Amino acid sequence: MTVQCGCCGAEITSTDRIDYRLNRPEQLVGVPGDRLAAPTGGLLVGPDGDTYIRCLLPVALTGGTELVFGAWMRISKVDAMYAHAVWDNDTEYANLRLSGKFANVIKPWDVLGVHAEAAVLNADELPYYTSHPLLEREWDRDEVLSRIRHPLPVPIREKFGEVWTIERTEGMRCTIDGRTVRFSSPGRSVSIDVYADLTGGSPSDFLGAVLDGYPATAEHSVEHDGEELRHAFWLSEVIDGQEEQVFHAHVVRRGTMLSVRCIHRYPADRTWAQHVLNSVRYVG
């Protein structure tokens, strides 16, 4: 599957380094572009004369993945003028050293405004952060990457309702519509909802209430595994004038249910839809 960068649209082929460019410093989000100045590809000047430089922040994640943010640091006007002066001179640019305040919000951390330092490590690249709180340790890959809604070149495990997790396949974008979370890529989509049962009934009773109105003639499968009930069935539906294969699945525990709806165009993708269901885990 081809995965495109959510920032520039380029194809992503590496799974051990993921580059993610943050568009603007937090203070300049929403400022009209004609009020900003960009003396170089890595410098930005705000309407009040505040100056920023984009630097590379490599964050080590579990599993051997490195997430490299293109993130902004607010620097002094004097440092900005010097950086601009040496930007196209490889010899002088290689000696560039800077310090300032980190100017982006990156979840799940609280790093906006922290002191940071950066230096040029490769004359062909932006400066790298050499002092920053996120450089100090390795971070959980799923917890960090699940905050990025753009398509990623690796599968990640997303958490739902504090007690469920499910895999977001590589190459899928994540969007939220009310209470429904959707993963999507060309030709495929997944809709995920979590429901609570306040009646105190059994998983079978809960599932039966949810299935009321669905066609009994569908291709159903039911599996009991201890306290867990897994149910799935297939339908062919016309969506936006196109016949699609739709996989409905439910994983039920007492008091809670994760509902999954996979839509795909090609019958061969049945294996993928089943994989989505198999990836559901109860962690409560």
Tell the residue number behind the tokens 């009773």, with chain if given: 205
Over residues 19-24, mean pLDDT = 94
Domain 155-282, CATH = 3.40.1000.10
Give residue 12's pLDDT. 53
Over residues 98-118, mean pLDDT = 97
Distance, in Å, from the CA atom of 208 to the CA atom of 163, rounded to the nearest integer, reads 21
Would the pLDDT of 98 be above 60?
Answer: yes
Q: In sequence order, what DSSP letters do the residues of 212-257 get, joined into one string?
A: TTS-TTSEEEEEEETTEEEEEEEEEEEETTEEEEEEEEEEEETTEE
Distance, in Å, from the CA atom of 75 to the CA atom of 3, rounded to the nearest integer, reads 35
Q: Where do the domains of the chain lie?
A: 3-135, 155-282
Q: What percent of the chain has pLDDT over 70?
A: 94
pTM (predicted TM-score): 0.84
Q: Do residues 23 and 192 make contact, with C-beta atoms less than 8 angstroms apart? A: no
**What is the token pair recorded at 82?**
């010097």
Would the pLDDT of 25 be above 80?
Answer: yes
Residue 241 or residue 282, greater confidence: 282
Tell the residue number behind the tokens 């936006």, with chain if given: 240
What's the pLDDT tens digit per position in 158-213?
A: 999 889 999 999 999 999 999 999 999 998 999 999 999 988 889 999 998 888 87
Give residue 73's pLDDT. 98
Distance, in Å, from the CA atom of 216 to the CA atom of 218, rounded to the nearest integer, reads 6
